């Protein structure tokens, strides 16, 4: 909040706000000043990660435009960590990889005030702002691990518990604990090795909690709640000669009807499942054929969207050729059962698609919200580029859907092996669906090879070979599998290996360069 004093005549002009990327130099000065013996300021990439993950939780006080105090926090599902945890475990080494928007506790990871401003109650202002945030987010409490820097003077004569009790009785002053107790926080327990590098506190910390008296327990809605399990139906599609778009839609409806009867949440069709329509008439070149195929795409998608609504099932309509502003693209459509629709363009056309069809690549990779979780779509060749799924993973993707179209076994194995790798490295499920059969006299679509499958991460909670289900090769059929999304959350923090948490964000990162 800005004071009423005129900027030119007042000694201070304080303003409470959220931190921005431009504040790093000021923050670095504050932290370097406060923590010369503990490594000083966070590296800039860690600060940027905090702003990206939970910008609302990173707040500061500026004086005449210069940051002089700041507080950092995240939201966690506290039961996943419990009272016995370290700073790095619960904060993701301050990268906030443990942030959970659906969590129940606001966890404070840092409060800093420049020494020249430490008599102005700026810490209290930051704590009050945190309390307001906690109430506005309807979180149960604020929890934090607090240093006890003055303990170094008493470590030889009393235990941490005795020291805390003396501070509580105001017989001993501790610059951090005394402040926290005066701001309505209560000590829950003593943490050992919370911050091993904190020599002043001898590695100990207090686990403190402030309870939100206005917290209202969130009630699960009677209808429409996001599911913790998803039933996925995968169509291994037979390429057959067709006489019309109506005949294609009739074949699609057959599978959608069947998967809906089994109460599937989502149906996945293969890449270019509409390719048989290229055989409706003769074309001089394969470019003419794919452009003619693109003319059917609007009609096909309109009909599939209606099927999604009428059969109450989300449908990923494989992919279709689309002409946009005179350019040809390969586009996958997510047709939700509520009637909404979104698209994912293929980012990497194959050499054949670029050479024979003059096909262009898209410039955005997305994660989509559904009524059973967050999903990503990568079309065939795209799954062979791990950067794309990593970007989706950073946005919370739980399931990756890959419609593909391959002609030979070696081409199929490229897709399969890369899909399995994406499941392991991103700790998510990956579903692949392809087409089988032959299309004589249809150029670029004469032979197919596929074995559709559903892959999981590789750990004890999942199948021993990390394959949830797979089809018979080169046979038209469906596979249906139930996916437990709660296992992915458990794996992230309790798995034999923890690829997401252990990622060295201090050394490397992936940035999307295209400005949307």
High-pLDDT (> 70) share of the chain, %: 96
Q: Is 409 helix (H, G, I), strand (E, B) or coil?
A: helix
pTM: 0.77
The tokens describing 507, both together, are 């050394």
Residue 472 has pLDDT above 70, yes or no: yes
Least confident of 79-88, 295-304, 346-355: 79-88
Contact 125, 133 (CB under 8 A): no
Confidence label for 226 from pLDDT (cuts 50, 70 and 90) = low
Residue 6 has pLDDT above 50, yes or no: no
Cα separation of the two ends of the chain:
33
Q: What is the pLDDT, as a whole number, of residue 189?
A: 93
Residue 480 has pLDDT above 90, yes or no: yes
The mean predicted confidence, pLDDT, of the chain is 92
Euclidean distance between CA atoms 62 and 70, whole angstroms:
9
Candidates 200, 271, 394, 470; catalytic one: 271
Least confident of 147-156, 169-178, 214-223, 432-441: 214-223
Which of 490, 422, 425, 479 is closest to 450 using CA atoms? 479
Active site residue 134: no
Between the CA of residue 513 and those of 54, 363, 364, 395, 516, what are the distances in Å? 21, 10, 10, 16, 9
pLDDT average, residue stretch 118-125: 92
Active site residue 28: no
- Between the CA atoms of 75, 77, 83 and 85, what dihedral angle is there, to the nearest 10 degrees? -70
Candidates 60, 264, 335, 380; catalytic one: 380
Active site residue 346: yes
Stretch (H or E) spanning 481: strand 477-484
3-state per-residue secondary structure call for 84-116? CCCHHHHHCCCCCCCCCCCCCEEEEEEEEECHH
Euclidean distance between CA atoms 228 and 242, whole angstroms:
39
How much is the CA Rg of the chain, to the nearest whole Å?
28
pLDDT average, residue stretch 77-97: 92
pLDDT average, residue stretch 250-272: 97
Q: In terms of DSSP H, where are the helices of 4-43?
A: 24-34
Q: What is the pLDDT, as a whole number, of residue 300?
A: 98
**Between the ranges 344-348, 395-399, 491-495, where is the mean pLDDT highest?**
344-348
Q: What is the pLDDT, as a whole number, of residue 222?
A: 58
Q: What is the pLDDT, as a whole number, of residue 1?
A: 44
If one compares 357 and 509, the residue with the highest pLDDT of the two is 357
pLDDT average, residue stretch 136-151: 95
pLDDT average, residue stretch 193-215: 92
Candidates 346, 353, 394, 427; catalytic one: 346
Which residue is it, tokens 């979104």? Answer: 342
């Amino acid at each position: 909040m800005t004071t009423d004093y005129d900027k030119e005549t007042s000694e201070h002009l304080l303003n409470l706000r959220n931190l921005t990327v431009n504040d790093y130099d000021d923050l670095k000065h504050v932290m370097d000043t406060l923590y010369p013996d503990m490594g000083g300021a966070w590296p800039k990439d860690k600060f940027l990660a905090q702003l990206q993950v939970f910008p609302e939780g990173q707040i500061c006080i500026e004086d005449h435009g210069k940051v002089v105090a700041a507080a950092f926090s995240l939201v966690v599902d506290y039961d996943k960590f419990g009272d016995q945890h370290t700073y790095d475990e619960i904060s993701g080494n301050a990268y906030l990889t443990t942030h959970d928007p659906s969590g129940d506790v606001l966890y404070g990871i840092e409060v800093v005030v420049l020494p020249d401003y430490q008599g102005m109650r700026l810490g209290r202002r930051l704590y009050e702002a945190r309390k307001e945030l906690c109430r506005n987010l309807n979180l149960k409490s604020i929890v934090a691990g607090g240093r006890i820097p003055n303990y170094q003077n008493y470590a030889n004569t009393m235990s941490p518990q005795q020291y805390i009790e003396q501070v509580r009785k105001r017989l001993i002053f501790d610059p951090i604990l005394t402040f926290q107790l005066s701001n309505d926080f209560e000590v829950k327990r003593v943490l050992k090795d919370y911050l091993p590098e904190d020599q002043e506190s001898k590695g100990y910390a207090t686990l403190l909690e402030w309870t939100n008296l206005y917290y209202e327990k969130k009630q699960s809605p009677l209808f429409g709640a996001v599911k913790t399990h998803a039933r996925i139906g995968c169509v291994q599609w037979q390429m057959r000669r067709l006489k019309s778009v109506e005949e294609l839609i009739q074949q699609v409806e057959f599978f959608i009807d069947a998967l809906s009867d089994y109460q599937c949440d989502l149906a996945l069709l293969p890449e270019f499942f509409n390719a048989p329509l290229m055989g409706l008439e003769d074309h001089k070149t394969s470019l003419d054929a794919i452009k003619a195929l693109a003319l059917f795409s609007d009609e096909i998608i309109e009909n599939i969207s209606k099927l999604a609504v009428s059969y109450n099932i989300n449908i990923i309509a494989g992919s279709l050729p689309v002409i946009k502003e005179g350019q040809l693209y390969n586009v996958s459509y997510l047709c939700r059962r509520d009637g909404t629709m979104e698209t994912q363009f293929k980012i990497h056309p194959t050499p054949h698609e670029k050479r024979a069809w003059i096909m262009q690549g898209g410039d955005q990779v997305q994660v989509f919200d559904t009524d059973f979780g967050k999903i990503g779509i990568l079309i065939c060749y795209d799954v062979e580029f791990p950067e794309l799924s990593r970007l989706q993973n950073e946005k919370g993707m739980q399931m990756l859907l890959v419609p593909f179209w391959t002609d030979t076994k070696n081409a199929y194995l490229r897709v399969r092996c890369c899909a399995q790798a994406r499941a392991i490295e991103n700790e998510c499920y990956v579903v692949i669906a392809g087409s089988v059969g032959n299309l004589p006299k249809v150029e670029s679509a004469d032979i197919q090879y596929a074995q559709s499958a559903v892959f999981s991460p590789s750990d004890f909670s999942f199948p021993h070979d990390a394959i949830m289900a797979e089809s018979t090769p080169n046979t038209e059929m469906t596979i249906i599998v139930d996916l437990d999304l709660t296992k992915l959350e458990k794996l992230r923090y309790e798995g034999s290996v923890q690829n997401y948490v252990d990622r060295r964000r201090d050394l490397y990162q992936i940035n999307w360069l295209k400005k949307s």
